[in-house]
Amino acid sequence: MTARWRLGLFAGAVLILTAAAGVIAAHMPAFGVPASHYGPAVNAIIPAARHATNMVAAVNFDVRGLDTLGEECILVCAATGAVVLLRGARGESISADAGRVPGRAVLRRTDATVILCRIAVSLTLVYGIYMALHGTITPGGGFQGGVVIASGLMLVYLGDGYALWRRMVPSVAMALLEGGGAFLFVAAAAIPLALGGDALANMLPLGQPKDLFSGGLIMLANDCVALSVTGSFGLLLLEFMEETRSPAEDPVPDEEDP
Amino acid sequence: MSWLIGSVFAIVAVTGLLVVLSRDPKRQVFALGANGLALTTLFFVLQAPDVGLSEIVVNTVLTPALFLMTLAAVAMNSVSR
């Protein structure tokens, strides 16, 4: 295909797609106008039915809680798959030496960086835990809290280096968090089912609206997801970081020869 | 549509364009982070703080961090071979 043909094809596609996009744009609802009745319905029903004030969390963890359970399992499977792939190519061993790209200067951290990172780590971790715990009442929730905690763990590496980071974030702990959170979430769905109700049925006391312990199962499910997300992302970061280390002495055992 | 939403849309468009136009992968990662920050602002302005909180961590910290580690690993591997 010559360049002229390609340009002609491009021009034709642009003409047709622009016309089509124009037609679609003309028929779209105006900007900011609610197009569905779902939002107002949720706003009208949930505060009384579930004593929750964060509608997003109430929808995610109660109204369509089973979908969230599925998403949670997808995340766990994806993180586990990535870990298996990376470890399969590298082995289980942890290397102590940083890999080096030749020609790149390695600068020492200044004291200010270390101090700032240590302060930021504690604040970020507290904020992540706060966000996960208060998912029922304020914006945020399990996933957001979990990723905030996981990104806070990265600050340990930024401030204090790889060795301390590996000691503070052991991969077994991350794996336990990941699997344990997901297991608790599945248990929260299965126990009402075993008692003869619906999966993820909200049978816990609902509490006072705007209180930390409100919304019943919503808070519990949020915290399960927070644990699992922290573990998943922590494990992912750990495995990716290990890829940037120089290879350890003992190589991966070769696959058995036939 | 208020001027605030309009200007944030413009910033999102500009930063998105910068991601596409930067050719060096390392610069592209940082452009991606800036685009994530702009998108976060847009979500907050459009009153979707839940999405904004996910966006700011995933798109300005985790994704760039994973990309940078991958780039470092690739650079190290291509040198050692």
What does the pLDDT look like over B52-74, one tens digit per residue? 999 999 999 999 999 999 998 88
CB A203 within 8 A of CB A193: no
A98 — phi, psi (to 5°)?
-75, 140
CB A179 within 8 A of CB A231: yes
Share the mean pLDDT of chain B.
91
Please give the single-letter amino acid code of residue A252: V
The encoded tokens of residue B71 equal: 């780039």
Q: What is the ipTM of this complex?
A: 0.87
User: For A147, which of B57, B72, B73 is closest by C-beta distance?
Assistant: B57
Q: How far apart are CA A200 and CA B38, in angstroms?
A: 36
| Structure confidence by residue, pLDDT tens digits, A41-72 | 998 998 888 888 888 888 999 888 899 999 99
Please give the single-letter amino acid code of residue A219: M
Across the A:B interface, residue pairs with CB atoms under 8 Å apart total 61
Please state whether B14 falls in left (phi above 0), alpha (psi between -120 and 50) or beta.
Answer: alpha
User: Does B4 contact chain A (CB < 8 Å)?
Assistant: no
| Structure confidence by residue, pLDDT tens digits, A9-26 | 999 999 999 999 999 999
Q: How far apart are CA A223 and CA A212, in angstroms?
A: 13
The encoded tokens of residue B37 equal: 């920050």
Chain B interface test: which of A134, A244, A245 (most B C-beta within 10 Å): A244
**Where does the pLDDT of residue A86 fall: very low under 50, low under 70, confident under 90, or very high at 90 and above?**
confident
Average pLDDT over residues A215-229: 91
The encoded tokens of residue A111 equal: 């004291």
* Per-residue pLDDT at B30: 94
* Per-residue pLDDT at A258: 47
The DSSP H or E segment spanning A212 is none
Contacts of B1 in chain A (CB under 8 A): 31-32
Residues B54, A147: C-beta atoms closer than 8 Å? yes
Return the number of other C-beta atoms located less than 10 Å from residue A203's C-beta.
Answer: 12
DSSP assigned state of A246? P
Share the mean pLDDT of chain A.
87
User: For A244, which of B1, B53, B72 is closest by C-beta distance?
Assistant: B72
Residues A147, B58: C-beta atoms closer than 8 Å? yes
